[in-house]
Every structure is written in structure tokens, then in C-alpha cells.
Amino acid sequence: MKKRLSFLDKYLTLWIFLAMLLGVGIGYFVPNSSNFINSFSSGTTNIPLAIGLILMMYPPLTKIDFSKIPKMFEQPKLLTASFLITWIVGPFLMFLLSTFFLKDYPEYMTGLIIIGIAPCIAMVIVWNELAEGNRELTAGLIGINSLLQVFFFSSYAYFYLKVMLPLFGIKGLELNITIVEIAQTVGIYLGIPFVLAVVSRFAIRKFVGEKWFNQKFIPFVSPITLIALLFTIVVMFSLKGAMIVDLPLDVIRIAIPLVIFFAIMFFLMFFVSKKIGANYRDSAALSFTAAGNNFELAIAVSIGVFGINSGQAFAGVIGPLVEVPALIILVNVAFWLKKKYFCSFFQ
């Protein structure tokens, strides 16, 4: 049975849109607001944004039973399907959509290509949690995707920007980013909350007991995810509020290929996983992992390589503007698909 939603959960879409409007309003109407927020930065890492993301990731990770993660390797078909669709189909699909819709806007096109080669390793936890997907499978997938990003992001970037673009008649672009820089970004946005979750889960259960942990601690920290999500949205959109208002057509240009990408990846992964025998919880975990993107990494890379005022960075910031409502809609679509295809199995 679907869990009863709290007041905050029930009207989540409304709160998200209000947070988006608030962020854009601050960025547009408050002079130098983006400069003030960026003053709390270390390198390409914005401290308020990092804090929001870490707090957002922590509660879902504390709910994961890490002892069950190795069981994911007992389902090689699911792992193979996830790898092929997330790492082979996904980047190529985003490349095609970017070159088709944004060929005349090379900076935006490049920004979307960078987004496409960075599968989601953070926000997917939130979407999976809202859709009641398999937490352990999601944790395993984001762990694998994190390592793959660390070792192959640079190679993927070189392949798509330096090899594929010229093949499509578009001049290749330079992208200088090291494995260490990628590992640092992954470590900040995923590693810190992961370590905190593991330590708190095992320490609290050991000294206070599993019953208190499940009945008291988990309900206490759970609302932090959505509160931190709203805070993160306000901060992220306030950084580019003026540009979003001044360049509405550019926002739409960037949004169109992103919406198409989210929809294709979600439905493709959902029905492929169902075809190979996955239950609803596994299908949801796989689908949201495939559909989402690591905008934090894409934004960090775009700012570090092309600059904070570049079109690539602007495209990266527009990503969450589109992803948040799109993935919220897909959460509701997932429940509809659950009712249509899995209801009789109560999965």
C-alpha cells in the first residue's frame, strides 16, 4: 500500500515551483545577489549549494540497508540493461538531441553534451525515494556510476566533443578536466553524505538499538531531504535568475531536448527492465537512475572549464529547472505504471 504522504510531501510540486520562482525572483530583483552567493565558494564548489545537496542526500542514504547491496549482482540482466542504456544509449541520445536542436547555439549544445555524459548520482536518490523504488539497488547503481564517472568522464568528453562533433560537421571543442577534479566533485556531493549515513546508521543502531533508529531517528531526519531540496533549488536558481528572465527563449531552447531526453530514457528503461523480469521497485530505481543527470558535476565542469558566465554553465543551471518538475511528473507516472502493470503483485 502506498504510504500516507505528509503535508510537505503531498504538495511537493507546489513547493518546488514556489522555490523556483523565489530563486529566480531573488536573482532578478535583488542586486548582486548572485555575487553574494558566489562569494561563499571554494574553487568551483559553491558552499551553500554543497551544504544543501549534502543535507538532501543524507536522510535517504541512512535508510539504506547496505548489507543487501551485494544482492544486486545476483541480477546480471538488470545491471547489464542499466549499463547499456545509461552509459551507451543515454550519452548518444543527448548528443543527437543537442546537435539537432542547438546546432546554431554551440555553447548551449556543448553544455547539454556535458550533461549527457554525466548520469545522475545524487538527485536520483530523492526521485527514487518519492517513487518508492528499491533503495539498495539505487545505492549500488549510484556507486557504480560514481566510479565510472571518475574514470571515464574525461574520455567520454573527449570522444563526444573532439571526435563526434567533427563527424557531424561541427568543430570540436577543448575540454580540460582531470580525474582528480571529477573525483573531488563526486566526493563532495555524494561521498560526504554517504560516509555520514554509514557512520550514523551503524553507530546509532549499535548504541541505541534498531527499533529506536527506525521508529525515532529515521522519521526525525526524513523531512530534511525535502527542506534541503527546496533550499538547494532557491540557491541554484537565484544564481542565474537574471539570465533566466532575460533569455526566456533560450531557456525554452535548452528545455526542449532535455524534456525529450528525460521521457525517452525513463520509459525505455522502465519497459526494458519490466521485459527482463524486474519488479516495480527495481524498475523504478533503474528508470530514475537512467533518466536523471548529474547536473552538479556538469555545472562544476562547465564553470571550471568555460567560466561561470558561459553558455555551457547557463545550460547546466537550466538543467535542474527542467529536471525538477519533469522528474516530479515522472514520479506520478511511475505510480500510474505501478498500478497498471504491478498492482496485482503488490510490488
Predicted confidence (pLDDT) per residue in 54-102, tens digit: 888 788 778 777 776 677 777 788 889 999 999 999 999 999 999 999 9
Cα distance between residue 219 and residue 234, in whole Å: 25
Query: 5-9, 123-127, 134-138, 206-210: which range is least confident on average?
Result: 5-9
**Residue 99, CA distances (Å) to 10, 132, 160, 176, 273 in order:** 38, 35, 11, 21, 29
Which pLDDT belongs to residue 262?
A: 94
- Residues contacting residue 50 through CB under 8 Å, at least 6 positions apart: 188, 189
42's enclosing H/E stretch is strand 41-42
68 or 256: which leads in pLDDT: 256
Cα distance between residue 231 and residue 221, in whole Å: 16
Cα distance between residue 39 and residue 296, in whole Å: 18
Instruction: Name the β-bridge partners of 298.
Output: none
Checking DSSP bridges between strand 45-46 and strand 41-42, what pairing results, if any? antiparallel
Residue 9's pLDDT band, with cuts at 50, 70 and 90, is low
DSSP 11: T
Which pLDDT belongs to residue 320?
A: 75
Residue 236's pLDDT band, with cuts at 50, 70 and 90, is confident
Cell triple for residue 240?
542565474
Contact 109, 102 (CB under 8 A): yes
User: 3-state class of 119 per DSSP?
Assistant: strand
CA atoms within 13 A on the CB side of 93: 23
Q: Which runs of consecutive H residues, i.e. helices, occur in the chain?
A: 7-10, 12-29, 33-38, 47-62, 76-83, 90-101, 106-116, 123-130, 135-158, 165-167, 179-186, 192-207, 210-212, 218-239, 241-246, 248-275, 280-291, 295-306, 311-341
Instruction: Name the β-bridge partners of 42.
Output: 45
Which pLDDT belongs to residue 91?
A: 94
**Residue 305, CA distances (Å) to 104, 113, 235, 254, 302 in order:** 21, 14, 22, 20, 5
Predicted confidence (pLDDT) per residue in 174-185, tens digit: 656 666 766 676
Which pLDDT belongs to residue 345?
A: 45
Which pLDDT belongs to residue 347?
A: 46
| Gyration radius from the chain CA atoms | 19
**Residue 264, CA distances (Å) to 24, 122, 271, 324 in order:** 28, 20, 11, 16
Cell triple for residue 79?
545491471
Cell triple for residue 188?
563532495
φ/ψ (deg, to 5) at 65: -85, 95
C-alpha dihedral (190, 193, 196, 202), degrees to nearest 10 = -80
Cα distance between residue 288 and residue 120, in whole Å: 9
CA atoms within 13 A on the CB side of 173: 19
Residue 186's pLDDT band, with cuts at 50, 70 and 90, is low
Cell triple for residue 218?
529515521
